[in-house]
Every structure is written in C-alpha cells, then in structure tokens.
Amino acid sequence: MIRGRRIGLAALVALACGGCSSPDEIVLAVSTDLALPKDFEILQIQVFEGTKAKFNHYSRRLGESEAEARLPATIGFFSSDGGGESIRFTVSARLDDDLGPVRIVREAVTTIPKNRVALLTLPLNFLCDGSGKSAGTDVEKTLCGDGQTCVAGACVSNEIDSSALPDYSPGDVYGGGNGEGNGDCFDVTACFQGATPADVDTAGCTIAGDGGPPRNVALETAAGDGVCDGTGDDRRCLVALDAGSDDGFRVEGDGRILLPPAVCDQMAQDKIAAVVTAPTTDCAQKTAGLPTCGPWSASGSEEP
C-alpha cells in the first residue's frame, strides 16, 4: 500500500498528516486482476478539485523487490473544510515509465463525506484494457466520453454518491488483514487447477448453473495477460473475476452466472480464449475484498 499517506485537499504542501484526526475522509483503494510487473509497472493517481489538479503521484516498479507500492494500494484524502468538496479521482496503469503508454484508466467523481471515513475502490482490470492513452503527465480516455468511465469493459457514469460508499475498514480491502501481508489472498493458479472451459451462452453472456456449490469464474486470456502457469504450449493465463461485483460476475435467481457483456465481445475478438469455472469446495469465492496472491500483493503474500 501507499503507507502513512493522508492528504489534506486544502493544504497542497502537506503530503502526510500523521497526527490529523479529521473524520471527513475518503480512502481510495486501487486494485487489479492482472499480474505485476508483467502486465503493468506503474500506478498513477491523480486528484482534481473542479479543474484544478490537487495531487499527482506515481508508484513505480510494481511487483518488484523495490516496488514503491503493493496492490491493493490505499491512500486517504481528508477535508480541511468540514467535508462536502467535489473531487475527481483518475487512476491509471502505465507501462515503462511515468510518461509511458497507458493500458487502463478508471475515474470517479464524488464528494468528501462528512463525519466518517468512506472507502472508494477503483480497480484497474483486464476488461478495461485499452481504455486510456498517455498525454504526457496527463491521461486521456479512449473508450469512454466525458462524464463516463470504464467498468468491466462498459462505459458508465463516473459519478458516485459518497453517502452510498461503505465505511473504510482495512480488512475489507486486504483480505481481513491490514495491508502488511497478514491477510488472505486468492491463489488463481491453485483455485483453477484442472478447470475446463465453460459453455457460454453468448446471446445473454451467461453460463448455466449446475445446482452445485458457488463457483469461481476466470477468463483465459489469449495474449498472456493475468496470472500464468506452465510454459510453452501448456501455458495458461487467467484473470479471476470478483463475485457479486459490477466489475465481475453475478448469479441470477435460476443459478445462471451473468458475465459482463464485454466478455462475450472480447471472446468474439479472440482477446479472451475461454471462460473457466471452478467450485468453491477448496477455495473461497473470489471477491473484491480478497485480492489475488502474488509478489505485487499487499495481502497474504510474501515479499518478492
């Protein structure tokens, strides 16, 4: 995580505020379903109040032994004026260096809550690959227009009501831990070992339920994105989807698994080779609060 960081929006020179106790705060959590540094190496976080830039931070060498952050990464922004300020967050996954190509961009416009600390999670996920491009130190959206952001490959409103956000608790971000590697994590390779492709109904982008226990769902990528196992022709790379999430999949009342429409679009484009599922008999169900295991992880993972 980005340790010890709390930023006062009205105090631009104050990059840390260890003794502050203001309850008017929003904690940004940035996660990913990709593998680092293979899929991207740099996280950029920008914050704007109106059109004015308030914060621009890069975390480099992700997934390496000298990484400047581990994911999920959290950083708090507190009000210096009683809460209610409207702010825009832009988080980006960059390659190579601070000005390098942008693979993914995610945006949210919200307000600093009053009298509490709220959690805002902005994932940088595979289904939104290609959603941004570099414009020097700035980032331009390529898939979505003004007032929109990419969620699971679709363009939706970037406005989020902060009153609907949950209260911040570290355990809800770091698999029950506090971001120091003492939480649980989801082992993609182990949990999908032996999993075979599911039959996807492309008309509704669903998978039929089997009446068994809840299932985990992953995308087998065609170009090697995600967590990989094996080598050569036996190599398989997977992106695990979060259950019960707008960024992942949901289960209908009849047991059918509802996938994001972008999954079927990308299958037709040969970007996704298959969708695989596995029962949750040996692994917990993957959720937004259970990050993937890996050297990039701040939850349940050893140092790289």
201 and 164 in a single domain? The answer is no
- Does residue 227 fall inside a structural domain? yes
What string of DSSP letters covers 15-68?
---TT---SEEEEEEEEESS-TTTS--EEEEEEEETTEEEEEEEE-STTSTT-S
Note whether 198 and 84 are same-domain residues.
Answer: no
Judged against a pLDDT cut of 70, whether residue 21 lies above it is answered with no
- From first CA to last CA, the distance across the chain in angstroms is 14
40 domain-assigned: yes
How many of the other CB atoms lie within 10 Å of CB of 135? 10
Whether residue 162 sits in one domain with residue 57: yes
Number of domains in the chain: 2
Asked whether residue 41 carries a pLDDT value surpassing 80, the answer given is: yes
Work out the pLDDT band at 84, boundaries 50, 70, 90.
confident
Q: Residue 15 — very low, low, confident or very high, per pLDDT cuts 50/70/90?
A: very low
Indicate if 161 and 195 belong to the same structural domain.
no
- Amino acid 19: pLDDT: 43
The pLDDT of residue 10 is 47
User: What's the pLDDT band for 83 if we cut at 50, 70, 90?
Assistant: confident
298 occurs within a structural domain: no
For range 177-204, the mean pLDDT: 93
228 & 159 share domain: no
- What CATH number did the domain enclosing 30 receive? 2.60.40.10
* Domain span at 246: 188-279
Rounded to an integer, what distance in angstroms lies between the CA atom of residue 4 and that of residue 206? 42
pLDDT in tens, 90-108: 999 999 999 999 999 999 9
Average the pLDDT over 243-260 and give the result: 95
Q: Provide the pLDDT confidence category of residue 23 given band limits of 50, 70 and 90.
A: confident
CA distances from 36 to 17, 41, 43, 102, 273 (A): 30, 6, 11, 15, 21
Confidence class for position 4, pLDDT limits 50, 70, 90 = very low
Mean pLDDT for 187-200 is 94
Task: Say what the pLDDT of residue 301 is.
Answer: 57
Q: pTM for this structure? A: 0.90
